[in-house]
Amino acid sequence: MERQRLMEQGPSPAESAPAAPSALPSAPIKRRSTARRWWAAALVGAVLVLHAWVGRQFALTMAAWHEQGPALAPVEVVVQGDLKPAEPVRKRRVAPPVVAVAPEAAAEGSSLATSVQPSPAPEPAPKATTEAPPVPQAETVVAGAEAPAEPPRAAPPDPWPPSTRIRYSLKGYYRGDFSGSAQVLWLREGERYRVEMEVVIGPRAAPIVSRRVFSEGRLGPDGLVPLRYEEDTRVLFSRARRLALSFEPGEAGKPGVLVLPDGSRRPAPVGTQDSASQFVQLAWLFGTNPTPIQAGDKVSFPLALARRSDQWSYVVGDPVTVDTPAGPVQTIHAKPQRELDPWRRDLIAEVWFAPALQYLPVRMQVLVDADTYALMVMEGLPELVKQPLPPSPAPPPASSVSPAATGATATPGATAAPAATPAAQPAPTDRLGATNPVNSANPSASASPSKP
């Protein structure tokens, strides 16, 4: 009966009421939730700051591109024939007016003239005067014709190669073997030049990766004077990436300014080259050197890169015979004196120049890291082309062309400066010319070969 009564009555309120939760764990739970909120807020803030920084950098880059003008477009050329191999000829770097000066004027010439050594040419003049007395009438003719007769005999060949296009076969390795094609186009018109380099991985109709670089500028007494550099990279299923550099050359003999893609400005010493012009500059240095190039020679110049300007040095190795469509060709092997840096990821390019083909590069090997490389080998004779250069989108300032490059004397002050420069400079001691920073790190090593 008691049991039945308890069942009918039901549980007591104390027994049926749920147990009150303990208040002790509530404090740690609140602290953990507060910490999560702070971490979430910090993460959101960091993401916003990162997006703001990326947006600012992108805006600066776009503004710099806008200021540098429109992109350079490829040039279609007309092929006129093939460049045949020929015996290399020593070329002078001096303009014709330097050769035609009188002996006393040659003694006051520039350091560039002494590097080419044109002064010994007028030495036979006293002998011609002493041999002339037996024929008095002919003496006046020889004396009067002596000065104009000298330039045709000593007239140097054109130091620059003609407008040329070279095609290469391409193969390499990047997470697997790849193949493609490449070409280098060199155009020259008066004192202007243009270099186009194109690399295509995969079929040309539908490339996987393609990169085209441009370099425009002027020809100066010290070689190429770049004014504009552009790089256009396209990857399949990705947006094209454009990079542009501009140069503001200084007055004669003074450093200029390099404008990087982000708009920042860096000093550009005299002789600064870009990634495309450096190979033509090397060919010009080798072709105009008064003496044959030998293993161990070193060439140095400032090189403008995407984010900085750095001193770049090439060391000449032993002569190498390279098989070409014209047969085996003797080449000059130039290798950068630089180690692979995984942080900077600079492209290390070894080049083989052929003296018999106007010192044009017949083989190039580009190293990215220890496992990534690209090898370009000339697949046909260089093609002689003809095409007027398009108008420069950003004409250089008037000060970019020095009086020494044109032979003009704009003002009396401008003519006095070059005349005073040779007196202050020492005699040339390097093998590749006094006006170029060759063997600058070891001048004693380069002084001995220059005496002969």
Q: Is the pTM of this model over 0.85?
A: no
Cα(367)–Cα(361) distance, integer angstroms: 17
At 179, list the tokens: 């193949």
Q: Is the dihedral of CA 321, 324, 329, 330 positive or negative?
A: negative
Helix, coil or strand: residue 332: strand
The amino acid at residue 256 is G
Q: Which residues of the chain carry a pLDDT beneath 70? A: 1-32, 51-78, 89-156, 339-345, 392-452
Closest C-alpha among 423, 342, 328 to residue 378: 328
Contact 235, 223 (CB under 8 A): no
Q: What is the C-alpha to C-alpha distance for residues 253 and 418, in angstroms, rounded to an integer?
A: 9
Enumerate the β-bridge partners of residue 224. 219
> Residue 225 has which token pair?
């004077």
Place of tokens 């017949």: 362
Sign of CA dihedral 261, 262, 263, 268: negative
Instruction: Give residue 156's pLDDT.
Output: 60
CA 193, chain centre distance (Å): 13
Number of Cβ within 10 Å of residue 208's Cβ equals 14
Q: Look at residue 138 and give its three-state secondary structure.
A: helix
Query: Residue 186 has what DSSP assignment?
Result: E
Residue 82's pLDDT is what? 83
Ramachandran quadrant class, 146 (left: phi over 0; alpha: psi -120 to 50; beta: rest): alpha
Tokens of 123: 């030495």
Q: How many CB atoms sit inside 10 A of residue 172's CB?
A: 20
The partner residues of 193 in beta bridges, in order of sequence, read 188, 217
CA-to-CA dists, residue 422 to 351, 418, 419, 432, angstroms: 33, 7, 6, 18
- Looking from the CA of 87 toward its CB, the CA atoms found within 13 Å total 0
Cα separation, 285 vs 295, in Å, equals: 15
What's the DSSP call for residue 356? G
Q: Read off the pLDDT of residues 407-419 as tens digits, 9 standing for 90 and up.
A: 333 333 333 333 3
Contacts of residue 262, defined as CB under 8 A and 6 or more positions apart, other chains included, come to: 57, 60, 61, 64, 307
Q: What distance in Å separates the CA atoms of residue 362 and residue 167, rounded to the nearest whole number?
A: 9
3-state secondary structure of 61: helix
Task: Give the span between the Cα atoms of 271 and 255, in whole angstroms.
Answer: 9
φ/ψ of 443, rounded to 5, equals -65, -30
At 392 the pLDDT is 65
- Would you kindly state where each structural domain of the chain is located, as residue ranges? 95-112+122-155, 159-400
- According to the model, what pLDDT value does residue 191 have? 92
DSSP 150-174: HHHHHPPPPSSPPSEEEEEEEEEES
Q: How far apart, in whole angstroms, are the C-alpha atoms of residue 355 and residue 361? A: 9
